[in-house]
Amino acid sequence: MISRRAVLLGSCLVALPAFAATPRVVVLGGSIAEIVAALGAEGQLVGRDTTSTYPASLLALPDVGYVRALSAEGVLSLAPDLILAEEDAGPPPVVEVLKAAGPRFVTLPGATDGPGVLAKITATAEALGLSAEALLAKVQADLDRAAALAAAVTAPQSVLFVLSLQGGSVMAGGAGSSAEGIIALAGGINAATGFTGFKPMTDEAVLAANPGAILVMDREGELSITPEMIAAHPALGQTSAGLAGRVISMDGIFLLGFGPRTGEAAIALNTALYGAKG
């Protein structure tokens, strides 16, 4: 005979929600991967895109391809419960397939400034059901220090970010781009004007912009841009930056990712532009 106490206990157990198993998460976008790791949830990741390279431990995860050239099959083969994606993940038809396939698909907001970074961290933590309080405090402190350094700049440098030089064409970061965002956070002025996003600049436009510094991503192979390539370019080589050899090379995801290390990146760029402060 079952006691009344046992019946009541059984009723309580039925009423309580079952504890969910640790979700299997695929991350699409380097800045989101950094946030997940910084939140202490790297152990939930079962796959990543090609841009998710920091921290280096992420490289051990299966790679589902470049964030803007994904295949639904590659992502779904990892049986994720949750897909966290940057806003430019694609192509759009693949994103639609992933959204309809069953796993929860969360698109995180983009960012080109400090508040955007904090919003992205908050949204990522909410998607994972985690607290972001400690990480937000750390990132805010870094951003505050970067802002103080930028505010102390008395003669802002004009900086041209060059994304690529393939075929000799200067692909630069214009208004509203992540390049302009990090230059501003570092206390500089974007030399590329008259267009938005990343677009080609004519040699005449480059010469007219006449940047005091040229900023590039530290890359290898055919996408690399070296000081020698800048000096040999018919337009870049004749700018103030080119003639003085003022070429700053920084890791791409660190510089433009607008993830947890954005304040640190702004400080590093400020130091490269204006020298270390005491």
Please report how many Cα atoms fall inside a 13 Å half-sphere around the Cα of residue 9, on the Cβ side.
5
pLDDT of residue 222: 86
Query: Do 167 and 261 belong to one domain?
Result: yes
Of 147, 164, 183, which residue is a domain's last?
147
Q: Number of folded domains in the chain?
A: 2
Same domain for 34 and 111, yes or no, is yes
Answer yes or no: do 195 and 125 share one domain: no
Same domain, 126 and 227: no
* Inter-helix orientation angle 178-185/262-274, to 10°: 70
Residue ranges of alpha helices (H) inside the chain are: 4-15, 30-38, 72-76, 92-100, 114-128, 133-151, 178-185, 203-209, 227-232, 240-244, 252-256, 262-274
Instruction: Say if 8 falls within a structural domain.
Output: no
- Taking alpha carbons only, the member of 88, 262, 276, 86 closest to residue 184 is 262
Cβ-count burial of 162 within 10 angstroms (0-12 exposed, 13-18 middle, 19+ buried)?
A: buried
Q: Which residues contact 235 (CB under 8 A, 6 or more apart)?
A: 170, 203, 204, 206, 207
Pair 168, 122 in one domain:
no
The reported pLDDT for the residue numbered 21 is 67
Q: Is residue 256 part of a domain?
A: yes
183-200 mean pLDDT = 98
| Average pLDDT in the chain | 92
Q: Is residue 257 part of a domain?
A: yes
Say whether both 70 and 172 belong to one domain. no
Would 29 be classed as within a structural domain? yes
Q: Decide if 33 is inside a domain.
A: yes
Are the beta carbons of 128 and 41 closer than 8 angstroms?
Answer: yes
- Stretch among 1-5, 31-35, 40-44, 205-209 having the lowest mean pLDDT: 1-5
Last residue of a domain, one of 99, 115, 147: 147
pTM of the full structure: 0.90
Amino acid, res. 70? L
Q: What pLDDT, on a 0 to 100 scale, did the predictor assign at position 7?
A: 36
Whether 221 shows a pLDDT value over 80: the answer reads yes
- Tell whether 256 and 143 lie within a shared domain: no
- Structural domain contains residue 14: no
pLDDT of 13 > 80? The answer is: no
Determine the pLDDT at residue 9: 36
- Overall average pLDDT of the 27-41 stretch: 98
In contact, 165 and 224? CB cutoff 8 Å: no
CATH of the domain at 183: 3.40.50.1980
Instruction: Looking at the structure, tell me whether residues 168 and 121 fall in a common domain.
Output: no
- What pLDDT, in 10s, does the model give residues 151-178? 999 999 999 999 999 889 999 999 999 9
CB 63 within 8 A of CB 49: yes
Residues 124 and 165 in one domain: no
Burial zone of 157 (CB within 10 Å; 0-12 exposed, 13-18 middle, 19+ buried): buried
**Residue 123 sits in the same domain as residue 231:** no
Last-in-domain residue among 129, 147, 165:
147
The pLDDT assigned to 278 comes to 55
In a domain, 180, yes or no: yes
Where in the sequence is the domain holding 236, given as residue range(s)? 155-274
Q: Taking residues 125-153, what's their average pLDDT?
A: 98
Tell whether 160 and 224 lie within a shared domain.
Answer: yes
Residue 170 belongs to some domain of the structure = yes
Write down the pLDDT at residue 18: 34
pLDDT per residue as tens digits for the range 46-96: 999 999 999 999 999 999 999 999 999 999 999 999 999 999 999 999 999
For residues 36 and 111, state if they share a domain: yes
